[in-house]
Amino acid sequence: MAYRTDALFRDDAYLRTADAVVVAVNDRGGIILDRTIFYATSGGQPGDTGTLERADGSLIAVAATITGETKDDIIHVPPPEQAVPEVGEPVKLALNWQRRHLLMRMHTACHLLTVVCPFPITGASVSEDDSRIDFDIPDAGFTREDVTARLMELVRADHPVFVRPITDEELAANPGLVKSKNVRPPVGTGKIRLVCIGENASIDSQPCGGTHVKSTGEVGEIHIGKIEKKGRENRRFRIRFGPMPPA
Ligand SMILES: [Zn+2]
């Protein structure tokens, strides 16, 4: 059965702790809560890790967070051999914030790359030290130096990043908002998160359910690690943290 967890990270990606109640434990030991700050693996962003603290102070580790039947069905997966909480038990949630913040910075950097390279996206994957986006372009004509310089202009300008909810109808009226060729934003729920960059979304806006930093300056220094050719009309861009190493 599909549960419906209140996903607190959608309204505030900066929550590091929260209180919740155990709603269910599935047959594989996955823990379902009434509310959570743990992002579940989706849209190329990996799920969160962290801990659930029980009333006696003991900790249950969360090794992964995944979705069940729907995106609101959020399952906290403990490593094998962990104690299992009781249904109805209160727990205190704590994220592995250091990792999540790196993912938020990287995920936001991916949005910036789609501004610099405005081409259809065929795949993307975010991780805490390296991310990649595959673009449908016959010949990049880009160098990693150029793309890095343009990314860093956007970072240094410290543009605001914010979420604007839109309706299915607004999205249908603006199909250009969707940059991914094969991933469609979930429609039919009546609410879609449009992630906007810049005053009045002047830099970018696109539907996205992930977690982002609140301004582009918080992304920090990044560079393009590599531009790889993946087939005749596909280029894979890799983003890494830090300054570009000397060639
Ligand atoms: Zn996003």
- DSSP string covering 20-86: EEEEEE-TTS-EEESEE-PPPSBTTBPPP-EEEE-TTS-EEEE-EEEE-SSTT-EEEEPPTT---PP
Residue from 140, 155, 111 nearest 236 by CA? 140
Q: What is the per-residue DSSP string for 46-65?
A: PPP-EEEE-TTS-EEEE-EE
Given phi > 0 = left and psi -120 to 50 = alpha, else beta, which region is 88? left
Question: Ligand 1: distance of its center to the CA of 83 in Å?
Answer: 34
CA 106–ligand 1 middle distance (angstroms): 10
> What values do phi and psi take at 108, rounded to 5?
-65, -40
Strand order in the sheet with 222-229: 121-125, 130-135, 235-241, 222-229
Q: Give the residues across from 47 on adjacent strands.
A: none
Instruction: Classify residue 158 by its DSSP letter.
Output: T
Using CA of residue 70, residue 102, residue 10, residue 153, what is the dihedral sign?
A: negative
State the distance from the centre of ligand 1 to the C-alpha of 12, rounded, in angstroms. 14
Token pair belonging to 75: 């399952």
Could you give the C-alpha distances from 149 to 96, 134, 143, 152, 220, in angstroms and in order?
31, 19, 10, 5, 13
> Is the pTM for the entire model greater than 0.85?
yes
All residues with CB under 5 Å from ion ligand 1: 208, 210
Using DSSP bridges, classify how beta strands 90-95 and 50-53 pair: parallel, antiparallel or unpaired.
Answer: antiparallel
- The DSSP letter of residue 160 is B
Q: How many residues does the chain have?
A: 247
Of 124, 128, 130, nearest to 103 (Cα)? 128
Residue 2 confidence (pLDDT): 77
- Rounded to the nearest angstrom, the distance between the alpha carbon of 39 and the centre of ligand 1 is 12
Angle value at C-alpha 35, between 47 and 166, nearest 5 degrees: 75
pLDDT one digit per residue (tens) for the chain, 247 residues: 778 899 999 999 999 999 999 999 998 899 999 999 999 998 889 999 999 999 999 999 999 999 998 888 999 999 988 888 999 999 999 999 999 999 999 999 999 999 999 998 999 999 999 999 999 987 768 899 999 999 999 999 999 999 998 888 888 888 777 776 655 555 555 678 899 999 989 999 988 889 999 999 999 999 999 899 888 889 999 999 999 988 7
Place of tokens 């005053």: 199
Sheet of strand 192-197: strand arrangement: 161-166, 192-197, 204-207
Cα(107) to centroid of ligand 1, in Å?
Answer: 6
Longest dimension (CA), the chain: 60
Ligand 1 centroid to residue 13 C-alpha, Å: 12
Rounded distance from Cα 40 to ligand 1 centre (Å):
14
Ligand 1 centre to CA of 163 (Å) is 10
| Domains of the chain as residue ranges with CATH | 6-95 (2.40.30.130), 100-241 (3.30.980.10)
Ligand 1 geometric centre to CA of 108 (Å): 6
Distance CA 162, CA 204 (A): 11
**End-to-end distance of the chain based on CA atoms, in angstroms?**
53
* Separation of CA 56 and ligand 1 centre (Å): 37
What is the whole-number distance in angstroms between the Cα of residue 211 and the centre of ligand 1? 6
> What is the 140 CA–ligand 1 centroid distance (Å)?
23
